[in-house]
Structure 1
Amino acid sequence: MPWLAAKPFVDLQVRILPLPSEERLAARLAPIGYVRSRGSRPDSPGVDRDIPRGDEEVADEVWEKRLFVRGEGGAILHVRRADSPWGRYTVRFRDWLRATPAARERYEAVKRELSARERGKADFDDCTRAKTAFFDEVQHLFAEDP
């Protein structure tokens, strides 16, 4: 996203219904350099499932997803069901950051602090979990789906 410092990766999201099998996605994405990510730990957040945010009626549901990566420091591809509440949440969050400079600056400050704190660790899992506090604090500020 312009105007926001970030890791040297591009985070992409594809929302599709039905969610293809892991094998089928892997076969289709391999020719363009994507490989299935397993995360650094067995409990790596956001690798195989999303816990939805912002939609109270589905807050207890867990939504299956697939995560692929391309190259070191390249691209991260999140493949989610089209009806995934987390998929909708990420779009609303992105749009809110684009439209709200103060929120964007605050999120960047949180990410920089976490990056400094987590530097040198073998994975980003703790950083990912720590960003949850920011999401919890601000999610009521951006509009629901139109």
Structure 2
Amino acid sequence: MLYLEDLNVGDRFESRAYEMSLDEILQFAGQYDPQAFHTDPQQAAEHPVFQGLAASGWHTAAVTMRLWTECFPVAYGLIGSEANIRWPKPTRPGDQLRVVVEIAAITPSKSKDDRAIVSYITQTFNQNDDVMMISTTKILVFRRGAFAESAEQ
């Protein structure tokens, strides 16, 4: 587990690859984002922007979240406070996604010395190193022993 004192601006974390299968794309889209360019390969092929079946951006984000939790194991979890997401390219069936996380800033809390807001930039790449998603995220990160010390008081 990573604590605040383990992190520095510029630190990078890289995930394993994750394959986006056609079945998974169709299932996710059918349940959460039922638009034809996510659910119907024939209609998606005729779409003027996507020109083929594309995974929901939220599906790409969910897989990115899974990969974050594996390669960036922050103590007490990835407690988000803010995020900005862009999807420069659509994720396609068969794409192998991987994420690279880089710490951009660490801002100590002004009122509680056991924590800080850590800002990081994540790029989600496919097997061709195309950027499929890029996000800037802020999370709450605690110092080692933060809760043990507060329990003693």
TM range (shorter): under 0.3
Question: Structure 1 length normalisation: TM-score?
Answer: 0.25
Higher fraction of helix: 1
Higher fraction of strand: 2
Q: Highest Rg: 1 or 2?
A: 2
Question: Structure 2 length normalisation: TM-score?
Answer: 0.24
